Chains A and B, each alone.
Chain A
Amino acid sequence: MESLLFWFFTFGMLLGGIGVIANRNPIASALSLVISICFLAGLYLLLNAFFLAAIQIIVYAGAVMVLFLFIVMLLDLRAEAKRPFRWGAFFVGLVVAVLFFVAIARVTHSMKDRFVAAPFGNPDNITAIGNLLFTRYLLPFEVTSILLLVAMIGAILLSKKELK
């Protein structure tokens, strides 16, 4: 059952990723990204990360994608009209991506069966995350708030009418 779900979620995630690249219309790309992210949240569930699966849906599929769609519609980006297909970029991208994937596959193959999975299902997931977050990772957690403040100020400054 677990392996069936793994293949289901993985293929959904990769198909969503292909949809992001293959669609000419940016809105269709954004919706494919939502599909990919939702399937990825399914993979998180399989990996005992229940809290992260919920956060993934809320933050990515909710907030980030709304921001993307908002900007796409604000800028009124039309689907890319008929333009010459960029064979050069296509082949360079394909070669680089395939080489990278082969490298990763070879490296991960060598670590076969060296790790044992924790048993599936961990009801204390959120408790454990909260404990770690407020003890060992308290300082990074607080610094994150400064990062968000900086991002907020940056976004407001950048979107002002006249850039000095």
Chain B
Amino acid sequence: MDIGLQHYLVASGALFSLGLFGIIFRRNLIVVFMCLELMLNAANLTLVAFSRFTQHMDGQIFVFFTITVAAAEVAVGLALVVAIFRIKGNGKTESLKELKF
């Protein structure tokens, strides 16, 4: 069987769905963060797949920038998690309810 663009897109969709499920299901802030990384990686896979199947290099440049943004996001996000941990004493999503109506 030949591997076409749709195979890569379905694989990327499966990875994205796994990340989505993890974000809803898990309650540890750091694990939620890791699931966010899974979703970012799924988007990157889509861009690279389109880059090969449309014969344009631009998709790979986008992924390059996405990886940079993800690195910056992880640095700031983990600093936020440390600050939340210091204030709340735990890293659970349930302890963040100041904005709850």
Q: How far apart sit A13 and B35, CA to CA, in the bound complex (Å)?
A: 13
Checking B14, B24, B68, B91 against A101 with a beta-carbon cut-off of 8 angstroms, the contacting residue is B14
A81 part of interface (Cβ distance < 8 Å): no
Instruction: Write the chain B residue with the least CB distance to A161.
Output: B86
Q: Are B55 and A97 in contact, CB atoms less than 8 angstroms apart?
A: no
Q: How large is the interface on A (under 10, 10 to 19, 20 to 34, 35 or more residues)?
A: 35 or more
Interface flags, B39-51, vs A, CB<8A=1, else 0: 0010011001101
Q: How far apart sit A115 and B56, CA to CA, in the bound complex (Å)?
A: 12
Beyond A21-B21, A144-B68, 14 additional contacts (C-beta under 8 Å) are A3-B1, A13-B15, A14-B18, A17-B18, A36-B15, A40-B45, A52-B44, A52-B63, A55-B67, A71-B78, A89-B27, A150-B72, A154-B79, A155-B79
* Residues of A bordering B, CB below 8 Å: 2-3, 6, 10, 13-14, 17-18, 20-21, 26, 29-30, 33, 36-37, 40, 43-44, 47-49, 51-52, 55-56, 59-60, 63-64, 67-68, 71-72, 74-75, 77, 80, 86, 89-90, 92-94, 96-98, 100-101, 104-105, 108-109, 111-118, 125, 128-129, 132-133, 137, 140, 144, 147-148, 150-152, 154-156, 158-159, 163
